[in-house]
Amino acid sequence: MQEEEKHIDIIEKLKNLPRIKTGDDFMQKLESRIIEFDSEKNISDSKSRNIYKEKEEGFFSKLIGAKRKQCLVPAMALAAVAVFTLFITQFNNQNQNSQNSNNNEIKQSDSPDLNRNKAEEKPPVGIPEPTEQKTESDNKTERSATNSNQNKAGIKEVPPTPVESSRMNIGKDNYKKENSDETPNSKKSTEESKGIIETEKMRGGRTSEVETENSGTMFKAESPAIDGKVNSSADELKDFERPIDQKLLDKLNAANKKKLDSLKKKMDK
Amino acid sequence: MSENTSIDKNNYKNYTDEQLIFKFQKEDRKAYNEIVYRYKDRLINFLLRFTGNRESAEDISQETFFKLYVNKDKYTEIAKFSTWLYTIALNEARTNYRKEKRHNAISINDYYDGNHSDYQIKSNDLNPEDDANSGTEAFHIQRAIDSLAEKYREVIILRDIQDLEYEEIAKVLDIPLGTVRSRINRGRESLKITLEKLHKTKRILR
């Protein structure tokens, strides 16, 4: 306060300075500036809103649009479904092709071993056929043997003539009869075969390898006929290579053993 | 516009400044008009004494009220509304003053480089009205205020012309109260000296 008293003359001079007033257009200027600012703000707000809306709109809404291309909606839906189905079918085809190729590869890789196994599995001993049937079966076995050899050598199989196929069918029928153990015909045939073997043995003690092999192949060839699924001669020829059922083999082996025992006894006597 | 403001005045004259600004924050344009009506003359006088130029004072006060309109939501009830408004005005005046100072310096440099076209000597920014009063006491006092350093000029104007309290000045300038007091004293001292010098020269000229 003392300081203010000291400078009281200057303070009075400052306080008595003339006061001015704003011009008449002061408020108008301010108002116009504010209006300009508000309009700019509104424009920028609307722009930002539009940008935000554009951002919110997704790909499909842009593509179709609310007002623009509504007629295209079903066509686009159909096209989408078509593309989807095409994709699925192609995908499945590719899968199937790949599976098939894999299977083929596996078969190709396995086939030599299988053939070898089949060759190993061939029964050593066969039952000789009656005379008439034997000749037919011999022919078959010879053919199958040649065919198998041809196959091994890479030669194509020649389908049999109608006469041959009829013969083969007869052979199948006979085999069916023979293999039905419980029928009386089978018993007869086994007895006949026993007699033949006995006579052969008595002659020179020789059971030819060819006969045994043939008998084996004969059984092989006729085994598919049991199922009755063979339709063509080419299939039949292929089926010659199929392995014999294990049960049948066992039975035949047992019968052969019995026969051999009986022959031995007779020889001893 | 003047009619509108008079209507606003009648409606809002009983409100305090703080109530008005809070109303304006709720998008009440009449409250804003009332604030402008209350403060436009006070601000223009403060700015005229600070800048020494009426046009600049009007421009700065326009800018201050426009900033108030744009940044109305930034006001919080920490300080008085008048303090907040004076702070805005003072900051605007400072930037304007520094800009003009820089502009004058560049113009003089251009003159010495040979570029005469840009050379402008700052006049004393007196209106014809001021020119008419050039021989009066007010003219000399304004000259003395202009000659003061910025920090003394601010406090002298706020205290002795605008009648603000010491505490309020301290808040506007964001300086301690003691600094305000000392600056006011020194400002008055230097103002007294410059006025005496001016009177001496006036006597010599006569």
What is the distance between the alpha carbons of residues A169 and A189, in angstroms, rounded to a whole number?
19
Residue A82 lies in a domain: no
A26 touches chain B (CB under 8 A): yes
Whether the pLDDT of residue A174 is over 60: the answer is no
**Beta carbons within 10 angstroms of residue B98's beta carbon:** 11
Q: What is the pLDDT of residue B120?
A: 43
Query: ipTM value of the model?
Result: 0.77
What is the distance between the alpha carbons of residues A206 and B136, in angstroms, rounded to a whole number?
163
The kind and range of the H/E element at A177 are helix A162-179
* Spatial CA neighbour of A252 closest among A175, A140, A199: A175
Residue A160 lies in a domain: yes
Q: What is the pLDDT of residue B24?
A: 92
In this prediction, residue B140 has a pLDDT band, given cuts at 50, 70 and 90, of confident
**Beta carbons within 10 angstroms of residue A102's beta carbon:** 10
C-alpha R_g of chain A: 52
* Spatial CA neighbour of A189 closest among A181, A247, A266, A218: A181
Cα–Cα distance list, B19 to A9, A23, A26, B152 (Å): 38, 27, 24, 33
- Helix pair angle (A209-227, A246-268), 10° resolution: 150
Sole residue written with tokens 């326009």 = B62
Enter the tokens of residue A126: 């066969």
Fold of domain B126-206 = Arc Repressor Mutant, subunit A (1.10.10)
Residue A72 lies in a domain: no
Closest chain A residue by Cα to residue B130: A18
Per-range mean pLDDT, top range of A109-118, A172-181, B34-43, B129-138: B34-43
Contact A213, A126 (CB under 8 A): yes
A259 Cβ partners below 8 Å, 6+ apart? A194, A197
* Spatial CA neighbour of B46 closest among A14, A58, A269, A159: A14
Enter the tokens of residue A260: 């051999």
Residue A128 lies in a domain: yes
Residue A77 lies in a domain: no
The mean pLDDT of A134-146, rounded to a whole number, is: 53
- For residue A3, the chain B residues in CB contact (below 8 A) are 181, 184-185, 188
Q: pLDDT for A25-65, tens place per residue?
A: 899 999 999 999 989 888 888 887 777 766 666 666 666 66
Helix, strand, coil fractions of chain A, as percent rounded to 5? 80, 0, 20
Between B28 and A52, residue with greater pLDDT: B28
Contact B51, A19 (CB under 8 A): no
Cα–Cα distance list, B68 to A55, A186, B9, B195 (Å): 34, 122, 18, 37
A73 touches chain B (CB under 8 A): no
Between A186 and B171, residue with greater pLDDT: B171
- For residue B195, the chain A residues in CB contact (below 8 A) are 10, 13
Lowest-confidence segment of A106-120, A162-176, A241-255, B99-113 by average pLDDT:
A162-176
Name the average pLDDT for chain A.
Answer: 67
Name the average pLDDT for chain B.
Answer: 82
Phi, psi at A221, each rounded to 5°: -65, -35
Between A234 and B60, residue with greater pLDDT: B60
* Beta carbons of A20 and B48 less than 8 Å apart: yes
Whether the pLDDT of residue A121 is over 90: the answer is no
What is the distance between the alpha carbons of residues B18 and B170, in angstroms, rounded to a whole number?
20
- For residue B188, the chain A residues in CB contact (below 8 A) are 3, 7, 10-11
Enter the tokens of residue B67: 């900033």
Best of B27, B42, B44, B193 to mutate (most A CBs within 10 Å, chain A): B44
* Beta carbons of A19 and B45 less than 8 Å apart: yes
Q: Which of A11, A22, A33 sits opposite B40 (nearest CB)?
A: A22
* Spatial CA neighbour of B57 closest among B78, B36, B40: B40
- For residue A36, the chain B residues in CB contact (below 8 A) are none
What is the distance between the alpha carbons of residues A16 and B54, in angstroms, rounded to a whole number?
18
- For residue B161, the chain A residues in CB contact (below 8 A) are 14-15, 17
A129 Cβ partners below 8 Å, 6+ apart? A137, A189, A193, A215, A218
Mind telling me how many Å the CA of A52 is from chain B's nearest CA?
A: 24
Between A174 and B191, residue with greater pLDDT: B191
Q: What is the pLDDT of residue A221?
A: 42
Residue A236 domain boundaries:
115-268
* Spatial CA neighbour of A208 closest among A146, A158, A134, A140: A134
In three-state form (DSSP H/G/I as H, E/B as E, the rest C), the secondary structure along A109-128 is HHHHHHHHHHHHHCCCCCCC
Enter the tokens of residue B2: 């003047």
A53 touches chain B (CB under 8 A): no
How many domains does one find in chain A?
1
- For residue A21, the chain B residues in CB contact (below 8 A) are 41, 44
In this prediction, residue B7 has a pLDDT band, given cuts at 50, 70 and 90, of very low
The mean pLDDT of A180-205, rounded to a whole number, is: 54
Q: pLDDT for B89-123, tens place per residue?
A: 999 999 988 887 777 665 545 544 444 444 444 44
CATH 1.10.10.10 domain residues, chain B: 126-206
How many residues belong to chain A?
Answer: 269
Residue A158 lies in a domain: yes
The mean pLDDT of B157-175, rounded to a whole number, is: 93
Residue A167 lies in a domain: yes
Q: What is the pLDDT of residue A213?
A: 44
Cα–Cα distance list, B175 to B9, B80, B104, B170 (Å): 35, 16, 30, 5
Fold of domain B1-118 = Rna Polymerase Sigma Factor; Chain: A (1.10.1740)
What is the distance between the alpha carbons of residues B86 and B78, in angstroms, rounded to a whole number?
15
Q: Which of B54, B62, B163 sits opposite A20 (nearest CB)?
A: B54
* Spatial CA neighbour of B148 closest among B192, B106, B104: B192
Q: What is the pLDDT of residue A51?
A: 74
Enter the tokens of residue A53: 């809306």
Q: What is the pLDDT of residue B173?
A: 94
CATH 1.10.1740.10 domain residues, chain B: 1-118
Q: What is the pLDDT of residue A269?
A: 81
Phi, psi at A154, each rounded to 5°: 90, 15
Q: What is the pLDDT of residue B197?
A: 86
